Amino acid sequence: MDNLEEAKKFFLVGLACLESKNYSGAELNFEKSLKILPNRVSVLTNLSAVKIKLKKITEAKELGLRSVALDPMNGQGYLNIGLANKEEKDFNSALTYFDKAIEVEPNFAEAWCNKGSTLNALKHYEEALTHFDKAIELSPGYAEAWCNKGSTLNALKHYEEALTHFDKAIERAPNNAEAWCNKGASLTHLSRLNEALSHFDKAIEIEPDYVEAWCNKGAAYTDHDQANEALVCINQALNLNPLHAEAWNNKGIILNKLKRLGEAIEAFEKALSLNPNLEFLAGTLLQSRLQICEWKSFLMQRDSLCDQIKHGLKSVHPFPSLAICPTEDNHQQAAKIWAQDKCPPNLTLGPITKGDKNSKIRLGYFSADFINHPVAALTVELFELHNKDQFEIFAFSLKPSDGSTLRQRLDSAFDRVIDIHGMSDKAVAELSRELNIDIAIDLGGYTAESRTGIFAYRAAPIQLSYIGYLGSMGVGYMDYLIADPTIIPPESVQYYSEKIVYLPSYQVNDRKREISKRKFTRPDLGLPEEGFIFCCFNHNYKFNPVIFDSWIRILNAVDKSVLFLYADNLLAKENLKNEAVARGINPERLIFGARIPAAEYLARYQVCNLFLDTLPYNAGTTASDALWAGLPVITRVGQSFAGRMAASLLNAIDMPELITHSQAEYEALAIELATRPDKIKGIKEKLQQNRLTTPLFNTPLFTEKLETAYLNIYRRYQSDLAPEHIQIL
């Protein structure tokens, strides 16, 4: 056999191996063929393609460049160089070579498709779609083009349209695992969990080692509160690829849900080490460390994250930013960055046409917290007191009923309770429109399990944010935010995308909250028989080294005093004790209370002497709980909505003397009240007098003011007037 015949034999065997996806065999035979015929363009081109499959990118580029040097009209060669650059995430170079491939072969569908997927990676979604359309026009049976177009539609949040494209891909290539997996992702976003899981299972059946399918299956379980099932899937993904940063990040999220906080932090740290630029991960990691009161390098990390937010980087989810960053400009910017990425305005449903007025103004309250939750505990009496002659009130519940007594009160208070768990954002917005909801009120904002995407579709002609999230949503489709003059003073309005509805007090309360008749003794709660008892039952993520320094100085100044805290995990408890030791104080002076029933929790406050607030994220519900139970709260005014909550509550109960404006003033007031029995006695007596005579716990007054605000903003809408700041004081 002569050399030419031998080279041809190796080449044909290589092609057969390539066809059967035996890339190592293809590489071996193409290299043998190339050794005999080093300048054969077809061998160079195919070997370049194989090297890409084997992730030997440098060799692939070298072979591709040799092939086009020999044949400048070799479109496949240019394509291979583009694909190699794409693998290295050098997207601009990739585009140059895809353009060259199209220039020499204008009908080269694969080049059009790969240019589209590169544009997709660069988030040039609309341009990407035109390239996929061209690829499909040139080759209607090209499954990958249909699949890639579906993925871009997913990125644009056009999930239902994406489904039809994945179906086209599957119709043309039933064993295309990527199409099955990506269709599952669309179904997950549409809250069609069972269908999504079956599609991920099909992708895994076709390709058992498909890491993305395992990851997506885990994410679907996570989104539907099935954390244990999610963990199994993510662990399988990591078994297949231990260096998959996204999977480690997802594992951290799942472990956090399972309250395995130490393991969650390890997973987030691993993800960050693999991909320091993974979106929003740095903020999630710092928030997780705050949850366990691990404060090493906190101030440096805080400053770095706040700086990243200022520069528009995707570093912090809006909710953790409230406890990490001290100022509202940071909070608004964090919200804008998140919203632009996750829930931008969606015009799919078109504008809402103004129809005939309803006989009553229809209010739609949207929340995942219509269960035994602080938001429901604060708002339930408001719903009971709404004027049913003027308003028809609907609850859109994002989670199923928990059967609690609180949920039973909610069910009775609303004219209609609609379980929207399992419905897509678009379907919920459509339902709200069909019900002619006039004002949609989001009680969740950017808190856990909220669904901002519903409002991105425009669920009602007037949309406003209230109580769940303590800051600006940073979007144009939320028209109003309910606040008060303390929470948002005039100089701060610039940091809010919404128009502000000013009420006497932003926080509504339930006067029916029962305080247990049980009279706790100090020993019942593990407290010493003697000494002043400071307390703070805020969530641990609101603690930080700056506020803890203040607390330690206060304890040092007040002999025999103790600090009664709530720690929702053992790691936080141990870390706080260690932080006390590091500051030279006996850790036994920190006492930790357990979670107890709500009525007893309120009664527990009555054993304490003074509540110490946190900063930059104040006490909200916990502060009003303490005041309701008769316990004074001292706060330091911050520079944000979240940092002015307690001051707002104290103004609403007419006790401004408990509001401080500096760290030194905060500490001095705490020490004075702890060392002057006459002073603390007078404060408690005043609090008892004011409890039911001032606006804070005057729920009928709050309801009346809020309804007046609703009437005002509704009249503005009916008069074709744009939203504007409104004061109902």
The pLDDT tens digits for 160-172 are: 999 999 999 999 9
Count CB-CB contacts under 10 A for residue 19: 9
Give the pLDDT confidence score for residue 223 in this predicted structure: 85
Quickly state the pLDDT bin for 225 (edges 50, 70, 90): confident
User: What is the average pLDDT score of the chain?
Assistant: 96
Give residue 538's pLDDT band: very low, low, confident or very high (50, 70, 90): very high
Say how many CA atoms lie within 13 Å of 159 toward its Cβ.
19
Q: Which residue has tokens 């705050």? A: 290
Nearest to 373 by CA among 323, 421, 407, 420: 407
Neighbours of 686 (CB within 10 A): 16
pLDDT of residue 75: 94
Domains of the chain, first to last:
1-105 (1.25.40.10), 283-342 (no CATH), 523-691 (3.40.50.2000)
Biggest CA-to-CA distance, the chain: 111
- Res 628: pLDDT: 98
Rg (CA), the chain: 30
pLDDT over threshold 70, residue 1 = no
- What mean pLDDT comes out for the span 215-221? 96
Q: Is the pLDDT of residue 454 over 80?
A: yes
Confidence of residue 355 (pLDDT cuts 50, 70, 90): confident
Region 368-384: mean pLDDT is 96
DSSP 327: B
Asked whether residue 351 carries a pLDDT value surpassing 70, the answer given is yes
pLDDT value, residue 157: 87
Q: Is the dihedral of CA 47, 50, 52, 58 positive or negative?
A: negative
- Nearest 5°: the CA angle 716, 719, 720 is 90
Segment 423-448 shows an average pLDDT of 96
Q: Is pLDDT above 60 for 120?
A: yes
Question: Could you tell me the end-to-end alpha-carbon distance of the chain, in angstroms, rounded to an integer?
Answer: 99
Return the pLDDT at 180. 98
Query: Which of the 8 DSSP states describes residue 333?
Result: H
> What is the pLDDT at residue 422?
87
- d(CA 159, CA 183) in angstroms, rounded, equals 9
Q: Looking at residue 7, what is its pLDDT?
A: 85
So what's the pLDDT on residue 356?
A: 82
Q: What is the pLDDT of residue 53?
A: 92
* Alpha carbon distance 157, 685 (integer Å): 56
Residue 467 backbone phi and psi in degrees, to 5: 65, -35
Identify the pLDDT of residue 22: 93
Share of the chain above pLDDT 90, in %: 95
Average pLDDT rounded to a whole number, residues 649-664: 98
Percent of the chain with pLDDT over 70: 100
Q: What confidence tier does 586 reach under pLDDT thresholds 50, 70, 90?
A: very high
SS3 for 501-531 is: EECCCCCCCCCCCCCCCCCCCCHHHCCCCCC
d(CA 342, CA 473): 12
